[in-house]
Amino acid sequence: LTRALVTGGRGFVGRQIVAALAAHGFEVAATTSSKPDPLITGARWFTVDLMDPAATRQVLRDWQPEILVHAAWDTTHGSFWTSEANYDWVSASLNLIRSFTAEGGRRFVGVGSCAEYDWNAGTCFEASTPLQPWHCYGDCKATVFRLSSRFAADRGISFAWARIFLVYGPHEGEARLVPSVVRGLLRGETVKVSLGTQIRDVMHVADAGEAIATLAAGDVVGPVNIGTGEQVSLADVVGLIGTLTGHSDLIAYGALPLRPDDPPVLVPHVTRLRHEVGYRPRHSLQTGLADAIAWWQQKQHDNAQIGD
Amino acid sequence: LTRALVTGGRGFVGRQIVAALAAHGFEVAATTSSKPDPLITGARWFTVDLMDPAATRQVLRDWQPEILVHAAWDTTHGSFWTSEANYDWVSASLNLIRSFTAEGGRRFVGVGSCAEYDWNAGTCFEASTPLQPWHCYGDCKATVFRLSSRFAADRGISFAWARIFLVYGPHEGEARLVPSVVRGLLRGETVKVSLGTQIRDVMHVADAGEAIATLAAGDVVGPVNIGTGEQVSLADVVGLIGTLTGHSDLIAYGALPLRPDDPPVLVPHVTRLRHEVGYRPRHSLQTGLADAIAWWQQKQHDNAQIGD
């Protein structure tokens, strides 16, 4: 069995990568800064602060992973775009790939973001769209991409970089678009949204995790956009949630302004993912949103049971 | 008096910045990882390892500089282009600007390099030449430029970035071009050089230090190339050393190959330095090289006196 390590294994995307790597037949360990999640089975857990170089090195020394998927980062909703923690993650990420390589690691896969690209581009191509981030978060992710690429090439380890676009699904932060619409409608409340004219590629997080695990299991190198290849407007997404919950009437389109820093079109070119990595998503937008709605329904039910 | 701090104050360039800031009327302190240099007067010294965030913070807390010139970096001849220490300097530099800002600092001036530019460009313009470094060193310098620019803009501090090209003069590493030619000729040895067809902008290090101090004392922001604006071939430089030492006959042109990673033309556009910062160098190539030769002569004399 090949040993893999996933950083940020409790995270929204990280937990899906852990599950998908286990399904791929890897011997998986995951790091968390808090404590193991009993819901995620099939992985060994390491509780470690990745800001601590010595402690991080010890985890790599103990587990000796051949493959490392680095999904940990600060993603606190509302603050992560501009947070100073982004700079700490640059240092922590550089330390991580150096320690991984020093301990004999073979392949490093980083989790990047559409925020690395110049959002004026509309459709983002790995090979040609400039890395001209609009926010600190994207700048720091692009920095780790650049310097880790360089480091890996110099040291002869295999390196790939998964750029995630818009993902949704179980365990998503409640303040984000899909959960806030789903939860509001399930409660029978009016939900205020913008006109929703923004064109996006929205992917179920389990598919994103599986795409990254497939990338990690193979030998494709360099940046790879992670997306479905389907372009939808956010109004389509919100409308479909309305249909699936039977509460279309509760959606107030245009009640919120469009954000000035929200680009009209932000979608990936997915040729590399489809034809080089060979991955296609399992969920359509309809089945994916239905799954997310079912998960939030179950969560509301569980919380009601325990009096929350 | 305005308080300034120079990191790497014992370094080849750093020591000139210290002297020039003192001449500008600043109250200057300098950091070194080793020990104060008794030859550099007019500055208070802090011995500190900039890789240690707490110790670095304490220096800033004690000195409370308004202006910080960050000249420290690993520049070990032969290894610094590819050294892993470059990554450590990324983390240390980000830590430095954050601590400086947290302690109330007002203006941060970083020392960058022509190595940040795409060397296919020939003539490098601050505003338009792509930052596409050929080596790890340039990648890491460009990273600190990008992320520090972002940080400074977000936090409202003034930020400038001095990109040095080819500098020479007192205290230069002995293995570098000018010292190795000067020292060989002064000893009466045959000196092997390449054909020297490379076109460069070579600047006396005291002028580079003064240019950076002038930049730091003013309010110009963003990247500023540091150079003379004169283009010369390295054969011209070597030839002039031959003339000035009276040993032109000892120079073996073409005895060494041109390095494949050495670009044929690498010079700065210096409009910003001349017209925005308002700095022009004091030395011509002739007076600058004469000064360097005199310094190496004195050094050989001093070493002979103490039996070295």
Cβ-nearest to A147 among B87, B94, B151: B87
Cβ atoms < 10 Å from Cβ of A20: 24
Residues of A near B (Cβ–Cβ under 8 Å) read 82, 84, 87, 90-91, 94-95, 98, 136, 139-140, 143, 146-147, 150-151, 154
pLDDT over 70, % of chain A: 99
Residues near A160 by Cβ (< 8 Å), separated by ≥ 6? A107, A108, A109, A110, A215, A216, A220, A221, A222, A223, A224
Q: What is the mean pLDDT of residues A249-269?
A: 94
Cβ-nearest to A136 among B91, B140, B150: B150
Residue type, B258: L
Residues of B in contact with A130 (CB under 8 A): none
Asked if pLDDT for residue B1 goes beyond 90, the answer is no
Local confidence band at A307 (pLDDT 50, 70, 90 cut-offs): low
Q: What is the mean pLDDT of residues B119-125?
A: 96
Is the separation of the CB atoms in A40 and A23 below 8 Å? no
Asked if pLDDT for residue A111 goes beyond 70, the answer is yes
Of B54-68, B249-263, B264-278, the range with the lowest mean pLDDT is B249-263
Q: With CB atoms and an 8 Å threshold, state whether A90 touches B87.
A: no
* Class of residue B12 by CB neighbours under 10 A (exposed 0-12, middle 13-18, buried 19+): buried
Q: What is the mean pLDDT of residues A242-258?
A: 96
Q: Which of B99, B145, B150, B151 to mutate to test the interface with A (most CBs of A within 10 A)?
A: B150
CA distance B47 to chain A (A): 23
Is the separation of the CB atoms in B21 and B213 below 8 Å? yes
Cβ-nearest to B140 among A91, A147, A154: A147
Cβ-nearest to B82 among A82, A143, A154: A154
Which residue, among A120, A126, A171, has the nearest Cα to A145 in the 3D structure?
A: A126
CA distance A98 to chain B (A): 9
Local confidence band at B304 (pLDDT 50, 70, 90 cut-offs): confident
Asked if pLDDT for residue B131 goes beyond 90, the answer is yes
Is the separation of the CB atoms in A232 and A200 below 8 Å? yes
Phi then psi for residue A84, to 5 deg, are -65, -20
Residues of B in contact with A90 (CB under 8 A): 90-91, 94, 147
Q: What is the mean pLDDT of residues B33-38?
A: 90
Residue of A nearest to B99 (CA): A84
Q: What helix, strand, coil percent values describe chain A, rounded to 5?
A: 45, 20, 40
CA distance A135 to chain B (A): 8
The C-alpha atoms of residue B129 and residue B139 are separated, in whole angstroms, by 14
ipTM of the prediction: 0.90
Residue of B nearest to A136 (CA): B150
Q: What is the mean pLDDT of residues A253-259?
A: 93
Cβ-nearest to A84 among B98, B140, B143: B98
What is the per-residue pLDDT for A126?
A: 98
What is the per-residue pLDDT for B307?
A: 60
Asked if pLDDT for residue A241 goes beyond 60, the answer is yes
Is the separation of the CB atoms in B199 and B166 below 8 Å? no
CA distance B144 to chain A (A): 9
Residues of B in contact with A91 (CB under 8 A): 90-91, 94-95
Looking at the DSSP bridge assignments, the partners of residue B265 are B199
Asked if pLDDT for residue A308 goes beyond 60, the answer is no
- Mean per-residue pLDDT of chain B: 96
* pTM (2 d.p.): 0.93
Residues of B in contact with A131 (CB under 8 A): none
Q: What is the mean pLDDT of residues A38-65?
A: 95
The model's pLDDT over B177-196, given as tens digits with 9 standing for 90+, comes to: 999 999 999 999 999 999 99
